[in-house]
Structure 1
């Protein structure tokens, strides 16, 4: 069985494009995961993407996760609610000053609490100043991402409210698959 999936690509081409969301409150902090950890990254990936069918990284071996996380200009920023991971944003530097927001989202229990807009704002700002933390990288000229019809119902609106603009739309057929989330059935 297959499903029709629409994928939208969005971008910002100037730091001035970013329209930050209000901060959700003192209990929410965003911290960079300073040590690349495949185990922690896989936890975040499955916890955030399990119910919305993220599958592209599920087959990666430990070494492949390590290689992806260790690339210069790759960063993971994690939102915490009173010490508990609530969601994350993963950035990846690319050629010609582009930075992709490769993954972004919240663990289901933390959705609908005004954390997502703040985390996206924070992560986008970190994409714009990425070269300041990575000597040798070109300054950021473009921040981009993609979202799709499998993502949460508020994803596209959040991206547009943060100042991202649509630049491409594609539709494809994908096999319908069950994803394990943090554990089977989650």
Structure 2
């Protein structure tokens, strides 16, 4: 008996309308299939990276907004409380916080829930902490932490709403692009999950 499979659905060639109140971005998926040569993982003076075993939902979402609002990070903001709490409590999800003078200025999150793989779910810093080499050091930390477990694949995705240099940053770190997707989502600035003045480079079409 022949098994019928559903063919993949592709975005049609040409322009496609995005519904009012929504945003659309082009997503690039990247992967790393072998452990790279170990790099220096020391952070610049004055910064530390600490794992967090128990972080409240309000504190997590506050840092998520602080780091990601300029780039329209929305996924964790749309999650129901129970779902987010279960994700953060999962022993195969690691949350690390970048601190400077007791202030939280960055986040690194790794997801090992798929056997043999790790997703670099989030890696970001506040705007005042960029341009000093902290991002490169944080990426080195992320790669070292991921490959410290018995994985065969480390992957990440970035989109056209991220920092303009994000894609190049990941490629320079050793990731290779393998897929391109289009994501359409409700604009989080219209739902109140992010302030309306977040990401002014992206127009609000209400």
TM-score class, shorter: 0.7 to 0.9
Does the alignment pair 1:103 with 2:114? no
Q: Secondary structure at the match of 1:67?
A: helix
For these two proteins, the number of residue pairs brought into alignment is 176
Structure 2, unmatched stretches of 5+, are 1-19, 199-206
Bigger-Rg structure (1/2) = 2
Q: Secondary structure at the match of 2:163?
A: coil
Q: Which residue of 2 aligns with 1:117?
A: 136
Q: Which residue of 2 aligns with 1:40?
A: 59
Q: Secondary structure at the match of 2:131?
A: coil
The whole-number CA distance in structure 2 between the counterparts of 1:51 and 1:92 is 23
Which of 149, 153, 156 does residue 145 from structure 1 map onto?
Answer: 156
Contact 1:92–1:99 (CA<8 Å) still a contact in 2? yes
Q: TM-score scaled to structure 2, two decimals?
A: 0.75
Does the alignment pair 1:27 with 2:52? no
Q: Structure 1 residues 180, 61: CA separation in 2 closer, same or farther (over 3 Å shift)? A: closer
Q: Secondary structure at the match of 1:72?
A: coil
Moved more, 106-115 or 68-77: 106-115
Runs of 4+ in 1 over 6 A off after TM superposition: none
Contact 1:21–1:121 (CA<8 Å) still a contact in 2? yes
Cα RMSD of the aligned pairs, angstroms, is 2.4
Does the alignment pair 1:6 with 2:26? yes
The whole-number CA distance in structure 1 between the counterparts of 2:115 and 2:97 is 26
1:48-99 CA-to-partner distances (Å, cap 9, x unmatched) read: 1111111222133332221010112101111122322121111111323101
Q: Which residue of 2 aligns with 1:170?
A: 181
Q: Secondary structure at the match of 1:94?
A: coil
Contact 2:117–2:154 (CA<8 Å) still a contact in 1? yes
1:149-175 CA-to-partner distances (Å, cap 9, x unmatched) read: 000112112211111111111234445
Offset of 1:15 from its aligned partner? 1.4
Structure 1, unmatched stretches of 5+, are 132-138
Contact 2:32–2:175 (CA<8 Å) still a contact in 1? yes
Q: TM-score scaled to structure 1, two decimals?
A: 0.82
Which of 147, 152, 161 does residue 172 from structure 2 map onto?
Answer: 161
Q: Secondary structure at the match of 1:120?
A: helix
Offset of 1:110 from its aligned partner? 1.7
Contact 2:44–2:133 (CA<8 Å) still a contact in 1? no
The whole-number CA distance in structure 2 between the counterparts of 1:3 and 1:67 is 28
Contact 2:66–2:126 (CA<8 Å) still a contact in 1? yes
